[in-house]
Amino acid sequence: MTGYSTKQLTELAPQTAVVIDEDGNTSNEDVDFIDPGDMVLIKTGNQVPVDGTIKTGTAVLNEASITGESRLVKKHPGDAVFAGTILENGTVTVNTTAAGEDTTFGKIIELVEEAQDSQAKTQRFIDRFARYYTPVVLLVAIMIGLITRDVRLAITVMVLGCPGALVIGIPASTVAGIGNGARQGILFKGSDVMDRIKHIDAIAFDKTGTLTVGKPVVTSVNVLNGDRQMIIDQAVAVEQRSDHPLAQAIGKLDRKYDYQPTDIQTIKGQGIRAQIGEGEYLLGNPTLIKDLLGTSSTLDQLIDQLTSDGNSIVIFASMDHHELAIFGIKDQLRSQAQSALRQLKALGVKRLIMLTGDNEGTAHQIAANLPIDEVHAAMLPQGKADYLKQQQADGHRIAFIGDGINDSPALSAADVAVAMGSGTDVAMDVADLVLVKSDLNSLVTSFRLARRTITNMNENILIALLTVVLLFIGLFVGYIEMASGMLIHELSILIVILNSMRLMKRISQN
């Protein structure tokens, strides 16, 4: 069963690609020999062989192998495509960002293989139990043989006491549950994650890219000192070196001149420091700018005005104060956020918490539209991790869901770390659970599936133990013989497998 599901995934992985060389000639190449930057040609009906961005052409893609959703998605130049998806219509050239095992699909296969090899707490208990159970059954059979002088009875005890259904029950549930999740774009990094999910009583959410879409737009540019266009050009040049969603919003602004920043330093959770020509610049949140450059009544007033309107704030400033600008940026709440959070409450999660590095005004405006119990704003990455550790010290089991490099300390500290699939590789490497679709409904489904899987494991244990007990009772009162006992024993294994297969049914998100 494990080999079958992994084999299915492996067979879906692309093997070759049509590569375009510098002269425009094409050739078929094994995906393992394709490097980032190589141009790949994909036509209608072909499987996308690499992760990359569309260079030319328009594509209509079926991304079911990645997201679990069979609906078609239209993509244009600049949009990302993923290996393993199908080009239903169009012809495109794609600039490769990853190939082979390094693609999103390759990582899905790796995660599923690792997850199926890991053991839940219940599985570890059964393994320990079996180490003692089997010798005990053997010893009992020998004693019965010596006392009764009935060799047939002793052999029957050994055969009927075999823990076949007990041994297979939990792995069968694990594979079925993890396989179901993988088909729906939910990647559990082991059945032990399901164990931990069952006991979660609080969930902390990052805001940007988690509760919100993560595609913010610049709503205002307020220049206090310096030339407006020059500041925009410089800010865009610096922000294009960052992967933070707020940075990407500024990076999309139109610019006239292409500045080339040097000596770029990321100040984790706060911003970027860079050199442009002879000048040194900062681009980051108000806390960073105020700590390093100080503030003014004009700056404070403008920040208050923008935050009261629900804007996130990014400030660009030169170290000599000659240039200073404030960018107001807004993000859109995920459409499914409210219903998903209400369903989590219905599943027994007692507290929903927002932890964000954004300002108080924006954080509370977003939280006002959601069933959020607590809001903690202006938090640095380490502050989020410290908050989670304090909650654990107070006896809570807490999950954290985020998507960025700045979320990695909190993800590492959480009892269950959940990464949105649109996030960074760092976040997904640290996470216990990856939501490939970047959909909060998938979080609800993962909690339901985890609980169903653990319940299914316990059902299988009960079936196995009850069968052995009834067989021994039947044997010693004379109702069961070896042949009939073996038949019942094998039927119990079949029942356990069939019970596990119920987990393969897709879970409704409503």
326-373 pLDDT, tens digit each: 999 888 889 899 999 999 999 999 999 999 888 788 888 889 989 999
Tell me if residue 127 is catalytic: no
Tens of pLDDT, residues 219-246: 889 988 888 888 889 888 888 777 677 7
Residue 121 has pLDDT above 70, yes or no: no
Both tokens assigned to 115: 């997850």
Tell me the residue ranges of DSSP E strands in 13-90: 16-20, 26-30, 39-42, 50-56, 59-62, 72-75, 80-81, 86-89
- State pTM to two decimals: 0.67
- Name the percent of the chain lying above pLDDT 90: 26
Pairing of strands 202-205, 271-276: unpaired
Cα–chain center distance at 54:
24
- Name the percent of the chain lying above pLDDT 70: 86
CB 286 within 8 A of CB 303: yes
Both tokens assigned to 147: 């006392």
DSSP per-residue string spanning 160-211: HT--HHHHHHHHHHHHHHHHHHHHTTEEES-HHHHHHHHT--EEEE-IIIII
Spatial CA neighbour of 508 closest among 451, 450, 442:
442
Tell me the residue ranges of DSSP E strands in 240-278: 262-267, 271-276
Tens of pLDDT, residues 35-69: 999 999 999 888 899 999 999 999 898 876 666 55
Active-site residue (options: 51, 206, 358, 403): 206
333 secondary structure, DSSP code: B
Residue 3 has a pLDDT of 42
CB 432 within 8 A of CB 441: no
Least confident of 147-156, 278-287, 313-322, 345-354: 147-156
Greatest CA separation found in the chain?
102
CA-CA distance, 97 to 77, in Å (whole number)?
15
CB 496 within 8 A of CB 172: yes
* Mean pLDDT, the chain, integer: 83
